[in-house]
Amino acid sequence: MHGEGTGILTQLTLGLGRFSLMGAEVVRSLCTVRPSLRDIIAQMYFIGVKSQGVVAITGAFAGMVLCAQTYYQFERLTVGSASLAVVSAAMCSELGPVLAGLMVAGRVGAAITAQIGTMRVTEQIDALRTMATHPVDYLVVPRVVAGVLVMPMLTSMVVAIGIAAAYLLGVGLLGMDSAYSLKHAQFYSEPFDVFAGLVKSVFFGGIITAIGCYKGIHCRGGAEGVGRATNEAVVQSCVTILIVNFFLTLILRQFR
């Protein structure tokens, strides 16, 4: 039992070390090599445009569920019109970036790992090295840059659609007062909440793409290994997003 624990700890340490080295290579590449704009735009389309559907649906129903649950509780205190304020504040700073990150991790993180993992097991990455092309420069950097640029846009979409859907549900179905709902939402939602959500989304975009690329590059074991790496990438991305979100919330509140 002790040996198994030591082995897991060793694997975790080696994994963190390799991930840190890849991160250092990405920073080095950004400082010394000009990334291909064409590759970045292609990845932005893949990560951003093709994720709009799932992100929009997630934001809409998350906003409506939060509005309904909040309204049922607030109505007991005759302040049901304040429900939209809770939705607005929560979506801007917490739910918006986290939901967008989790959805993108499930769709994009898995796809990135599968793409690069397939290249790894079919020795295409080794072929890049023989042609004096660094895999990090060609495969990792465009995806990380695209993820960092696109995630704030997807987060903004989640926030806007979530608040709009909550407003339509509250006013159209639950009977909330339109004027008071908008007034409360505007009064209790601060620009800092939007800023905090966008800052978090930048970190989440880097986390999703970096973990996906790392798992793909270090994939082993043929088709079975690709499937295993894809599953690990999604799980680790989601868990890391939740952990990082907690610490970012504490850190950002110090600057408020």
pTM of the model: 0.88
What was the pLDDT predicted at 6?
Answer: 66
Question: CA 60, CA 70: separation in Å to the nearest integer?
Answer: 15
What was the pLDDT predicted at 7?
Answer: 63
Q: Is 86 exposed, middle or buried (0-12, 13-18, 19+ CB in 10 A)?
A: buried
Tens digit of each residue's pLDDT (9 = 90 or more) over 170-186? 888 888 888 888 887 88
Would you state the structure tokens that stand for residue 43, as one six-digit string? 């990845």
What was the pLDDT predicted at 190?
Answer: 84
Question: CA 127, CA 118: separation in Å to the nearest integer?
Answer: 13
Task: Give the mean model confidence (pLDDT) for residues 67-86.
Answer: 84
What was the pLDDT predicted at 133?
Answer: 73
Instruction: Please answer whether residues 215 and 233 qualify as being in contact, where contact means their C-beta atoms are separated by less than 8 angstroms.
Output: yes
Nearest to 96 by CA among 223, 201, 236, 213: 201
